[in-house]
Amino acid sequence: MTKVGWESPSNIAIIKYWGKHGRQLPNNPSVSFTLNAAATRTFVAWSDENKYGRIDLTFTFENKENLAFAARIEKFLDNIADEYFPFLKEISLNIESSNSFPHSSGIASSASGMSALAMCLCEIEQSITGYKTAPNEFIQKASIVARLGSGSACRSVHPEMGLWGFHPDIASSSDDFAIGISHLIHPVFKTFHDDILIISANEKSVSSTAGHKLMVGNPYANARYQQANQQIISLMEALKVGDIITFGKIAESEALTLHALMMSSDPYYILMEEASLTIIRKIKNFRLDTGIPIFFTLDAGPNIHVLYPDEYAGEVRSFILSELIVHCFEGRVIYDQIGLGPKKIL
Ligand code: DP6
């Protein structure tokens, strides 16, 4: 068997992707920080002994067989094989995956997991076909493939920040893949922190896929898509000039909008916990009292991501330890930061 391995990070959206159509196409463009500590490591071994003419796969997650994940990956591979990787039905695959963060931490692992797998598949393709693509083509294909696995995963293939979704005023933007925007951001954002306060380790009460569907019929959907298209332009300007205050204002507005959309769906979901609200209030008060530019964002769950520039790392760490950690599940915090994207590990 021949084997490849990639580690790929999770990402945190500043402009949120919420609502999709067609084959994993976003209803509005989104922008995210690529993270560093929260990552998935995936190894794929393959041999050319496939007698079935369909996807032939064994899958282990953290050294244990995981039938639910295996079924999802098999379906994904089956879905992309004919169009992107025809050789997949002629080989047998053994996939081993593990996360750097606890599985039950409520952190979305689909972005890191699907991007790590996409990087492996693109490398296997080069090895099997002998055709070496240019690095940017390799990344673009990995982004397309990752998107088909999980929308937000397509942004994780880029260092520092990724932007996914077409916007008429953003050159090269596309609904099919994410583009890297690290060359468009001020140095202050290149060392930004994103500390993840774990509020609950429970499985999400609504999957993202089900959540996206609820945007069909949401009375605020069109206004939301317009808002995202406007906020992304303001955000890009703030990122360029290093305007942390505008950045933070937009990040918080996007997080609260995402939760407001879930609360106004039918059926509705309230995914924040009491502790999430307490922490949000404390972060705002700390910002007002100290003048330190510290902001929050959330995914589709109760965990709070604390965003701040590296310059204030000491003060914010003390604040988290003295004021916020008491609200976290088992005192859990993942101290993370903007990262450099996928790494080849084999
Ligand atoms: C709230 O990418 O997990 O994190 O495409 O159905 O796999 P699927 O959804 P997913 O949705 C992420 C939603 C979000 C916002 C974001 O990351 O942009």
For a ligand 1 pocket test, name from 16, 23, 143, 208 the mutation site with the most ligand atoms within 8 angstroms of its C-beta.
208
Please tell me the predicted confidence (pLDDT) of residue 105. Answer: 64
Please tell me the predicted confidence (pLDDT) of residue 103. Answer: 66
Closest residue to atom 6 of ligand 1, CA basis: 209
What is the Å distance from ligand 1's center to 150 Cα?
Answer: 7
Question: Could you report the per-residue pLDDT of 123-138, keeping only the tens digit for each?
Answer: 999 999 998 899 999 9
Is pLDDT above 90 for 224?
Answer: yes
Ligand 1 site residues (CB inside 6 A) read: 13, 16-18, 24, 30, 108, 110, 150-152, 208-209, 212, 258, 299-300
Number of domains making up the chain: 1
| CATH code: domain of residue 227 | 3.30.230.10
Please tell me the predicted confidence (pLDDT) of residue 108. Answer: 65
Question: Could you report the per-residue pLDDT of 231-277, keeping only the tens digit for each?
Answer: 999 999 999 999 999 999 999 999 999 999 999 999 999 999 999 99
Name the pLDDT band for 205 (thresholds 50, 70, 90).
confident
What is the Å distance from ligand 1's center to 153 Cα?
Answer: 8
Mean pLDDT taken over the chain: 96
Task: Quote the domain boundaries for residue 153.
Answer: 1-346
Question: Could you report the per-residue pLDDT of 101-110, keeping only the tens digit for each?
Answer: 876 566 768 9
Question: Could you report the per-residue pLDDT of 9-66, keeping only the tens digit for each?
Answer: 999 999 999 999 999 999 999 999 999 999 999 999 999 989 889 999 999 999 999 8
> Contact 100/39 with Cβ under 8 angstroms?
yes
Two tokens, residue 13: 């959206």
> Contact 150/114 with Cβ under 8 angstroms?
yes
Residue appearing with tokens 């996007």: 254
Please identify, by atom number, the ligand 1 atom nearest to the C-alpha of residue 300: 1
Percent of the chain with pLDDT strictly greater than 90? 91
* From 64-78, 183-197, 308-322, the region with the lowest mean pLDDT: 64-78
Helix residue ranges, H only, 12-134: 67-84, 110-129
Percent of the chain with pLDDT strictly greater than 70? 99
